[in-house]
Each structure stands twice: as C-alpha cells, then as structure tokens.
Amino acid sequence: MKLEKHEQEHLEKIYSRMGECIVYLKKNGDFPLKEAGDIALYGNGGRFTVKGGTGSGEVNSRFFVNCEEGLENRGFTVKTKNWLDLYDAKRKEFKEEFIKEIKKLAKEHHTMPVLEGMGKVMPEGEYQLPIEEECETAVYVLSRISGEGNDREVKKGDFLLTETEKKDIFILAHKYRKFLLVLNTGGPVDLTEFGFAGNILVLSQLGVETGHVLADFLLGRLYPSGKLTTTWDAYDSYCHEGDFAQINDTHYKEGIYVGYRYFDSVGRKALYPFGYGLGFADFTYELKDLKAEGTKIDITASVTNTSGDYKGMEVMQVYVSKPETRLDHAWQDLAGFKRSGEILPHESRDVQISFDFSDLASYDEERAVWFLEQGDYILRLGTSSTDTKVIGIIGLNEEVILKKVRNCLGKPGFKDLVIKKEKEDIDPSVKRIEIDPGLFTAEEVNYDVKDPICDELKDCSDADLMYLNIGAFDPKATAMSAVGAASSTVAGAAGESSGAALDKGLKKIVMSDGPAGLRLANHYYRDEKGAHGTAGGLPESLTDFLPWSAKLLLRLASAKPKKGVTILEQWCTAIPIGTAVAQSFDPEFARDLGDIVGKEMEIFDVDLWLAPALNIHRSVLCGRNFEYFSEDPLVSGVMAAAITKGVQSHAGKGTTVKHYAANNQETNRYGNSSAVSERAMREIYLRGFEYCIRESAPCAVMSSYNLLNGIHTSEHKGLCSDILRREWGYEGILMTDWVVSANMIAKDCIYGSPDPAKVAACGHSLYMPGSKKDYENMEKGLKEGRVSREQLLINASRMYRIYGKK
C-alpha cells in the first residue's frame, strides 16, 4: 500500500502525540512489557476495533489497523485466533438480528430503515466461548460505537456490559498473570463492577492506527498521559434532576450542575473523575508561585517525576470556588490547565497556568448582567477535579458588574436546581491576594447596530440574493441532494454555496463534513457537470439497513463515468475523535490537527470544514458525544479555538463551529426543544462557543437542528442576533445544519420544520443543503415580508467579506 506524501506526513505527525489521547485509569505495575511475545487477545474489539463514530464523523480512509493487526505488526503472536474466529461467527448472527429489528421498528414507526438505524448501536449479544489459551499476558478489548441520529441506552451491550463480557473479563483477570482491560469506546461505560481488574486503559477511538497505539502502549513506546474530560461512573450516580431524550421538550432542570460540577457539589466522588488519568510514571507537585498582575492570575507549579524508570507528562489543573453572596454556584469550576511537557525520571519542570479574573463572572438573570460576586474566591491546584489542594484566596471587596445585556433566550418553565453546600474551613496561612474592583469597567451592549452591506452585491436581483442565501441545488431536481454529499465541485463534499454571484467575485464555498477529518469520496471522476463520487452518497454505516432493491437503486443512481474517463482518488487523514483530542488537554496538539486538516483542504479545494463540534457532554448517553470535547465549557472552547487556529492558518480555509446550541441529544434531533434557563445556557452551553469565537474568529458557525425554549435555534433572534452578533461581535458566516424534510421529525412531535425566510431574517447566510422547495419558501417569505431584501444583502455580504474577490 503506497501512501501519498501528505498522508504519510500527517499520520506521522499525529502518531507521535497519541499517548496524550489515551487515559490510563488503573495500573498495578505489570505494564509496559519488556518485549513483544505471545499474547491472548479477547473481546469484541479485538478484530472489530472502532476508529470513530458513525454519521458525519465517518472519514473515508485508505486503511485501518485493528487491535489484532496492530499487535502482530509490532511483533506479538496472537494465540487466540480460534476464539476470535468463533466470535466472528457470533457477531454475524448479532448483526443479522439487529438489522431485522431495525427494519421491524421502521415499519412500526412508519419510517425508512435507513433513518431508524442512523446512529443506532448494535447491542453486544450474549455467548459462551471457551477461554483456554495458556500464556502470560491477556488483553480484552471492549468496543462500543455510537453516532449521529440515535442516543445510547442504559442496557447491556451498550452503557452496561453484558453478562458474557463481565464473566469473561473476570476469568481473564484471574487466569492470566498480566491482564489489561482496554476500552475502545467514544464515551463512558459502567465499570463499577471491575475493581478486581488491575489495569484499565481508555484507548478511545484514534483513527486509522488505533491498533498500533495499543501495541505501542503495551511495549512502552507510547506512554499514556491523557486525562478524562467527562466523569465516569454508574449511570444512577449522575444528576437526573432534568430529563433526557424526550420527543418534544427536554428539560435541563439541573441548570449549571453538569458533570463534575454536580458530583463535587453534592460531595459524591466519582469512580473516575473529570481530569483524572495515570501514566507509567508517577508525579508530585507543589505550588511555586501565585501572583496577580492587574486582573490576570498566574499560578506556577513545580511538577516532579518520582519514577525511576519512566518518562511522562502531567496535566496541572486550577479550579476556583466562588463566593455565594448572591447566587448559588458549583463547588468548583475549572479555571485553567496546562500540560507539563515531557519530564524524565527524577526531574522536575515548572508549569504555569494563567487566567483572567473576569472569566470567573457569573450570569444574574434577575438583573441581566455578567458580574463578579463580592467575597473570597478559593483557588485549588491539582491533577483531577477530586485531587486538589487549596493554594490561595483571591479577595474582591465589592461586587463588580462587567457587562449589561438582556435576557433573550426564552423561559424554560421551571426553576433550576439549587444545591446547598457546607462552608469550607480554609487554612488561614494560605496566601491571600486582593483584587482592586477599580480595575474592571462595565460594558453595556448596543443591540441596535446596523450591519454593513458590500457595494459589490447591491445590484443583485432578488432571485440571485435568494440563491445566495440557500445552498447550491439543481433547480431541475425533484428531490434534495444527498445529505452529506451534495457538492458538485468536490466529490463527496457535504455541500456548497450558490454560484449566483460569480460575476461579482463571490466564489462557490465548498464545505466538507467530518469532525474527525475531511469526509470526501475516495474515488471520483469529473465531467461537464462537475465532480462525482463513484459510490452512493450514504455513509457505509447506513447501507446495511437498506433492502436489496434499495441497494440496487442506490448503485444505479450512483454517478457512472463514461467509457475511458479517468477514475481519480482523494484520501484524507482520520484524526482522533473529539473526546480523545480533548483528553490530551493540549491546545498545541489540537492546533496541529487543525493544521493537518487545513493542508488537506488546500489539496482537495475545500473552503469550509464543518467542524469542530463543541456541544457539552450533558448526558453520557448522547449518541454524538464522541464528536464533542467535554462536559466542561472551558475545555471545549479552548480545543475548538486551537483547532480553528490551525485550520485558518491556511489562507482561505475556515472552520464551522457547531452545533449552536444546546444540541445535547440525538433523539428527535430535528424537532426536540431544549428547555434551558438563561443562566445555564450562558454559563454552560454557550460559554465554549463564546471562548472559541473570541480567541479564534472562526469563519463560520452552524446552528443546530433542535429548538431552544420552543423556537428553532436557526430562527432564534436572541441566540443568532442578540448574543452571537451583538454581545460577542461575531462577523462571520452563520449557516444551518443540513435541514431536511418534515418526515425526519418524530411522528408524535408537536414542532414543525424551520422556515427558510425566518432563518434568513435571523442572520443566516446559508440555509443548507438547499433545494428547490427551500427556494420557493424563501421567495414566498420575501413577498410576505418574513424576510427583507436588505437582510438577504447583509447575509450575502458576510460571505463576500470572507470569500469574495479581494
């Protein structure tokens, strides 16, 4: 197999940092091994290793190395071929039953199997296979996959382990002298029954070389240094004040108490807490310096590698407990973090963490202000949310108003959860710093700003403006372009903008899906109508649910080149899933990944990447969590900004941060309304977006499918105009997600589809992917006054300022 130069370079660049993405949950000193040798490999992920989730996260790669192949390529002899063969046969049975069940459910729900099965998890079945092989070391790889379109479930074979999995893991842990449980998952599973396992590794889903990473971990060639960005525990231990996966309205009654904010506030120690992760090496740390320069807080810690044999890296984390003078707060919030860099045995390294005190502001709904509470802010330094020590107090002797805004997100119909916390006794010898309230100035937002219009577009016809505000489509087509593969300029690209203003210097903007890399057609050809992939437009994960007749029609409908036409190739790099990237706690690594994607955008003529995705891990059951970074908005915002900087270091290439906002479930994602308080939205679900926009100015933002407090996010003036444009000052492109017909909305849903005219009136430059019906609805809306010509000009001007003729 011959790789293109860019493939080889990019894979090598990623691989050297893979140890930062894997999280060592538990160790007893058995690993790493001294050398490769005989090994017993078990588990559903031994051969069926998962490189990433399904849906838009699927990247068409040239190759993939599973765990079995990875071990063998590194010199191991896998002694359990018979077990793996027997499991193959069992899995085939499970899959056949799963497909039958999907088709049955689709019939009951009056929908298509391909829609019913989108993102659906094939539950692991029960079986009995002999565990007989004798050797010293065994590895059990537990895999789970999830994806776009469906949420996970608290059932055996998904969040819970099957009885077979539990039994086999127990036997292996006691039969073999050295045993490692490997989790090839995109999110948590219930590990509460596995206290007997001496070694547990979150391998995660790392792209094409996932199997090699496992082998190199075993041999110590890659050392683990990742940290959890989501709390792992039994499902019943998480906050269930609100609900999840409802058809119509999902109630975020937990308010700000998401993830570790809930666990820490109620005093419940999670099985594996946020920020937690071990290495081959062990570390100690101590505070070296704490100071304030104006409103900037600087913490310096000295980190020492106490191991005699292993090098490694530590991630230092700073948390802050706010005073509760006016509002209730989480027991602590992450304020900053920093990866140490490599530390050799018995050596030390200084790690500096900085943050601005104003970033600790809270939102007061009653007064519609961002403010700093009067009182003592307790600083904590540690290596996870539960392993911290108090290092200082920042005092503020009066309340400070930072920004006056207006409540604009609607009412959820309930009061948020309030958790009472006991007052903490702090050692009086801890260093204290007073912040002068006079250092801060209050800002008042002006919402009555007139948006500029580019002179080059002023003489556009109404028809051209409407085309510009809708994704490119074939006016002769009777159906929507294939979702996720609607571009005619780049084969397999998700979509593109209209060419209605080419004569005025506004190019077609080509967009590629895939938050784990560019998702394009592997093989394609060109003719007078454009570029065409030689396979159907559906992701591979969905074709199993089609009947043979539909598969035949898909093949017949696929573009067919004329005789003698050259078939071309385009191979893109699959990067680790978003959660794995965030587990590095390394913005430099995230920026490098963005740089890789940006280079491939140059190679394949893609303008906008429909990523990164930074929705919050509100529930561990969200089917799309693997694409998202964390339960924490700071981690999410930092990682999204770093990736964006990497991509946009390439001229003319941009990111599309998504899904804006409160898109935290896949159940009825087209018609579900997230009921969220103004405070929780601003402090938890919008804060990462705000950070990313402030620090990296992404070219585009994508609104989400869901509604917010009864209004489609794409039609929500408070979300799309008041906050995004006026409060944050965002001047880039706003587009919809790939809006589809009403038959994609759940049968019993009370909400309908968004109106293209209202969406444009809220400042969206693009209604995607675009169809004849969308144009007709936009035309009707213009005539009836639901959108003005001036607004269409404003929307198009935002595209022109980025992609117009310079």
pLDDT tens digits, residue range 173-192?
A: 999 999 999 999 999 999 99
| Beta bridge mates, 137 | 178
Mean pLDDT, all residues of the chain: 94
Task: Indicate whether 546 pLDDT > 70.
Answer: no
- The pLDDT value recorded for residue 305 is 98
- The pLDDT value recorded for residue 613 is 97
Rounded mean pLDDT of 316-328? 97
Cα distance between residue 618 and residue 690, in whole Å: 18
Task: Indicate whether 738 pLDDT > 70.
Answer: yes
Q: How confident is the model at residue 84 (pLDDT cuts 50, 70, 90)?
A: very high
Q: How confident is the model at residue 481 (pLDDT cuts 50, 70, 90)?
A: low
Let me know: does 387 contact 331? Beta carbons within 8 Å: no
Q: How many CB atoms lie within 10 A of CB 602?
A: 13
Structure tokens at 15: 């691989």
- The pLDDT value recorded for residue 707 is 98
Q: How far lies 337's CA from each of 202, 305, 349, 635, 735, in Å?
A: 21, 18, 15, 9, 32
Cα distance between residue 249 and residue 42, in whole Å: 42
Give every strand in the sheet of 283-293, ordered side by side.
283-293, 296-305, 348-356
- The pLDDT value recorded for residue 806 is 62
Give every strand in the sheet of 530-533, ordered side by side.
530-533, 523-527, 568-569
Rounded mean pLDDT of 475-503? 80
Q: How confident is the model at residue 345 (pLDDT cuts 50, 70, 90)?
A: very high
Rounded mean pLDDT of 438-458? 96
Structure tokens at 285: 């740390």
DSSP 678: H
Q: Which of 190, 107, 110, 129 is nearest to 156 (CA)?
A: 190
Rounded mean pLDDT of 257-282? 98
Please report, rounded to a whole number, the percentage of residues in the chain having pLDDT higher than 70. Answer: 95
Largest Cα span, the chain:
83
The C-alpha R_g of the chain, in whole angstroms, comes to 26
Q: How far lies 207's CA from each of 144, 242, 319, in Å?
A: 15, 34, 32
- The pLDDT value recorded for residue 256 is 98
Q: How confident is the model at residue 331 (pLDDT cuts 50, 70, 90)?
A: very high
Structure tokens at 17: 């940092």
Task: Indicate whether 248 pLDDT > 70.
Answer: yes
- The pLDDT value recorded for residue 544 is 65
Let me know: does 503 contact 460? Beta carbons within 8 Å: no
Window from 38-52, 109-123, 255-269, 670-684 with minimum mean pLDDT = 109-123
> Helix %, strand %, coil % for the chain, to 5?
30, 20, 50
pLDDT digits (tens, 9 = 90+) for 587-633: 999 999 999 999 999 999 999 999 999 999 999 999 999 999 999 99
Cα distance between residue 787 and residue 780, in whole Å: 9
Cα distance between residue 1 and residue 5, in whole Å: 13
Rounded mean pLDDT of 525-543? 76
pLDDT digits (tens, 9 = 90+) for 739-779: 976 557 777 899 999 999 999 999 999 999 999 999 999 99
Which parts of 577-712 are beta strand (E)? 608-609, 654-660, 673-675, 700-703, 707-708, 711-712
Judging by DSSP bridges, how do beta strands 77-78 and 296-305 pair with one another? unpaired
Q: Is the peptide bond before 698 cis (omega within 30 degrees of 0)?
A: no
Cα distance between residue 94 and residue 215, in whole Å: 28
Let me know: does 327 contact 371? Beta carbons within 8 Å: no
DSSP H helical segments within 668-803, as ranges?
A: 678-680, 687-696, 717, 756-761, 772-784, 789-803
- The pLDDT value recorded for residue 555 is 58
Cα distance between residue 426 and residue 378, in whole Å: 9
- The pLDDT value recorded for residue 49 is 97
Cα distance between residue 765 and residue 611, in whole Å: 17
Task: Indicate whether 558 pLDDT > 80.
Answer: no
pLDDT digits (tens, 9 = 90+) for 678-687: 999 999 999 9
Let me know: does 668 contact 749? Beta carbons within 8 Å: yes
Torsion of CA 750, 751, 753, 758, to 10 degrees: 150
Give phi and psi for 170, each to the nearest 5: -60, -45
Q: Which of 758, 766, 790 is nearest to 607 (CA)?
A: 766
Let me know: does 468 contact 798? Beta carbons within 8 Å: no
- Classify 107 as helix, strand or coil: helix
Rounded mean pLDDT of 467-496? 81
Sequence-separated (6 or more) residues with CB below 8 Å from residue 257: 239, 241, 265, 330, 417, 419
CA angle 692, 698, 700 (to 5 degrees): 120
Residue whose structure tokens are 């003592």: 376
- Classify 625 as helix, strand or coil: helix
Give phi and psi for 640, each to the nearest 5: -65, -40
Window from 257-261, 373-377, 541-545, 547-551 with minimum mean pLDDT = 547-551
Cα distance between residue 331 and residue 782, in whole Å: 50
Sequence-separated (6 or more) residues with CB below 8 Å from residue 622: 151, 152, 615, 628, 664, 665, 666
- The pLDDT value recorded for residue 28 is 97
Q: How confident is the model at residue 114 (pLDDT cuts 50, 70, 90)?
A: confident
- The pLDDT value recorded for residue 222 is 97
Q: How confident is the model at residue 541 (pLDDT cuts 50, 70, 90)?
A: low
- Classify 13 as helix, strand or coil: helix
Please report, rounded to a whole number, the percentage of residues in the chain having pLDDT higher than 90. Answer: 85
Cα distance between residue 716 and residue 713, in whole Å: 5
CA angle 645, 648, 652 (to 5 degrees): 170
Q: How confident is the model at residue 252 (pLDDT cuts 50, 70, 90)?
A: very high
Task: Indicate whether 559 pLDDT > 70.
Answer: no
* Higher-pLDDT residue of 747, 287: 287
- The pLDDT value recorded for residue 107 is 80
pLDDT digits (tens, 9 = 90+) for 200-246: 999 999 999 999 999 999 999 999 999 999 999 999 999 999 999 99
